[in-house]
């Protein structure tokens, strides 16, 4: 059964201040939905990594926060989207330690591990969309 969107909000991500706002919004949502502290921490960390990637590598973009439910679960889906240069090799970009910047190369792979569901779509010259879900 497909998840039903119960509520949503879209935030712009164009600066490091916006990354902080995304972290705060995601934390507020997961607290409101009753996630335990470990799940809160994991999901906020994943959101922070992806928001930072949206600014640094994508040149800015948006995140859509969605409170979702299906017949068994309540969760939060975050969809980060940018219109940057895209990722030429997604498989390589998802490997621990791979980086095109100065970081540790754990952003995408770390976010994937911290979420229950992870989906990425990227086209060179058109941008990247990453969607993560954390179920309660």
| Domains in the chain: boundaries | 4-135
Give yes or no for residue 80 having a pLDDT over 80: yes
Give yes or no for residue 10 having a pLDDT over 90: yes
- Which of 64, 49, 47 is closest to 106 using CA atoms? 49
Q: How many CB atoms lie within 10 A of CB 60?
A: 15
More confident residue, 103 or 136: 136
Percentages of the chain per state (helix, strand, coil), in multiples of 5 = 35, 30, 30
* CATH T-level topology, domain 4-135: Heat Shock Protein 90 (3.30.565)
Q: Is residue 136 within 8 Å of residue 74, measured between CB atoms? A: yes
Give yes or no for residue 99 having a pLDDT over 70: no
**What's the pLDDT tens digit per position in 48-63?**
999 999 999 999 999 9
Question: For tokens 């590598």, what's the residue?
Answer: 57
Structure tokens at 48: 């922070």
Residue-level pLDDT at 85: 94
pLDDT band at 93 (very low <50, low <70, confident <90, very high): confident
Residue-level pLDDT at 105: 42
pLDDT band at 132 (very low <50, low <70, confident <90, very high): very high
Cα 102 to its chain centre, rounded Å, is 20
DSSP secondary-structure letter at 3? Answer: P
Whole-number Å distance between alpha carbons of 136 and 125:
36
pLDDT band at 136 (very low <50, low <70, confident <90, very high): very high
- List strands edge to edge, sheet with 74-82: 4-13, 61-69, 74-82, 127-135, 117-123
């Amino acid at each position: 059964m497909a998840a039903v969107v119960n509520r949503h909000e879209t935030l712009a991500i164009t600066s490091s201040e916006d990354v902080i706002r995304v972290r705060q919004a995601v934390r507020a949502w997961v607290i409101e939905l009753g996630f335990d502290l470990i799940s809160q921490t994991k999901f906020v960390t994943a959101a922070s990594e992806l928001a930072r990637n949206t600014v640094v590598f994508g040149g800015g973009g948006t995140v859509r926060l969605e409170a979702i439910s299906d017949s068994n679960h309540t969760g939060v889906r975050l969809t980060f989207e940018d219109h940057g240069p895209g990722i030429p090799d997604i498989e390589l970009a998802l490997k621990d330690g791979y980086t095109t910047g100065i970081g540790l190369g754990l952003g995408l792979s770390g976010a994937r591990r911290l979420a229950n569901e992870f989906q990425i779509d990227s086209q060179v010259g058109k941008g990247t969309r990453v969607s993560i879900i954390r179920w309660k």
